[in-house]
Amino acid sequence: MTAPADAPPQRSYPTDEALLNRVLAPYKPHCKYLTSAEVTARAGLARAQGSFAIPESCYIDDTGHLNSVEVNIAYNQLMYYLVAKSVQERLLAGFEDWTLDDFWRHQLPDILIARFASNFRRPVNPRDFTGELEFRSVTRRAPGGNSPFLHVATVFRYQDAHGGRCHGEATLAFVNVP
């Protein structure tokens, strides 16, 4: 995240275990991949750095590498945590009026992935890897006078200690916003 020299200083928030557990509550026990996350914020935008462990794939025999389905699940978990922590700490532009109760109510039905693309450069070890997710922009839209929604552009990266890496972009739509 780059900010102008006169921007407010970056703020950092270590893993909030209680919040992380609540964010991951909708997931089946064997699909809780995010183990910790640190959130940083500056000038109305935020990012999260997380640690992940996938002991065993939830849907396929062991491939030996992180695959696109697991990338998407890991993305969702880090994104949900980033939004929840941002709402709790009032970090993200566009979410100023949200409460954590709003987030819990909207977490599953109203946060949609409108576009998701990932690029794999080197195989990533799913047993122990890290990732970053950055909110690049948050804009409120109401096309054609329809119900407003938040349009969020994000980028993400995953890597392991042995040079494995993948990255991508996702566009989110937060519908039925408070």
Q: What is the pLDDT of residues 35-44, one digit of tens each?
A: 999 999 998 8
Give me the domain span that covers residue 88. 11-174
Question: Residue 4: pLDDT band by 50, 70, 90 thresholds?
Answer: low
In this structure, what CATH number is given to the domain that contains residue 52? 3.10.129.30
The number of folded domains in the chain is 1
Of residues 61 and 41, more confidence is placed in 41
Instruction: Determine which helix (DSSP H) or strand (DSSP E) holds 153, and give its type and residue range.
Output: strand 149-159
pLDDT tops 60 at residue 25:
yes
User: Considering the domain boundaries, does residue 3 fall inside one?
Assistant: no
Q: 106 lies in a domain?
A: yes
Q: Which residues on adjacent β-strands are paired with residue 173?
A: 112, 151
pLDDT given for residue 2 in this prediction? 52
d(CA 118, CA 158): 10
Tell me the mean pLDDT in the region 126-131. Answer: 97
The mean per-residue pLDDT over the stretch 127-151 comes to: 94
Residue 1 lies in a domain: no
What's the token pair of residue 62? 């062991």
